Homo-oligomer: A and B are copies of this chain.
Amino acid sequence: MAPQDTGPAQVVLTASVARRYYLDGRSKVEIADEFGLSRFKVARLLDAARASGLVRIEIRHDGGIDVDLSARLRDAFGLQHAIVVDTPDDDLVSLREHVGRAAAGLLAEIITPQDVLGLAWARAVSAMARALRPLPGTPVVQLTGALSLPDGPDTSVDVVRDVAAASGGVAHCFYAPLTVSDAATARALRQQPEVARAFGQVPSVTRAVAGVGLWEPGQSTIHDAASEADRRALRELGVCADISGVFLSADGEPVPTELAERMITISVEEMRSIPEVVVLPYGIRKAPAARAALRSGLVGGIVTHTALARAVLDT
Contact = CB atoms under 8 A, between A and B. Distances in A.
Interface of A: 1, 3-4, 7-12, 15-16, 18-19, 22-23, 49, 54-61, 63, 65, 67-68, 70-71, 74, 81-83, 102, 105-106, 108-110, 133-134, 136
Contact of A109 (B8, B59, B102): B8
A118 B124 CA distance: 77
Given A1-B136, A71-B12, A108-B3, A54 B65 contact: no
Contact of A105 (B4, B61, B65, B133): B4
Contacts of A133: 3-4
A58, A59, A63, A81: residue with the most chain B Cβ atoms closer than 10 Å: A59
Given A7-B109, A70-B12, A57 B57 contact: yes
Contact of A102 (B1, B8, B56, B83): B8
A68 to B, nearest CB: 7
Nearest to A49: B59
Contacts of A81: 9, 12
A109 B10 contact: yes
10 contacts: A1-B136, A3-B108, A4-B108, A8-B106, A11-B63, A11-B67, A12-B67, A12-B71, A12-B82, A56-B60
B108 A11 contact: no
Contacts of A9: 81, 83, 106, 109-110
A10 B61 CA distance: 12
Contacts of A67: 11-12, 15-16, 54
Nearest to A73: B12
A8 B67 CA distance: 9
Given A74-B12, A106-B7, A108-B3, A59 B54 contact: yes
Nearest to A85: B8
A46 to B, nearest CB: 11
Contact of A57 (B10, B22, B71, B102): B22
Give 10 nearest A-B pairs by CB, closest first. Answer: A7-B109, A15-B67, A3-B108, A16-B71, A12-B70, A8-B83, A22-B57, A3-B109, A8-B105, A9-B81
Contacts of A4: 105, 108-109, 133
B22 A134 contact: no
Nearest to A19: B59
A102 B58 CA distance: 30
Given A4-B108, A54-B59, 11 more contacts: A1-B134, A7-B109, A9-B109, A11-B63, A12-B82, A15-B68, A18-B59, A22-B57, A54-B67, A55-B58, A56-B57
Contacts of A83: 8-9, 12
A60 B54 contact: yes
A8 B108 CA distance: 10
Contact of A71 (B7, B15, B82): B15
A304 B12 CA distance: 13
Contacts of A59: 15, 18-19, 22-23, 49, 54-56
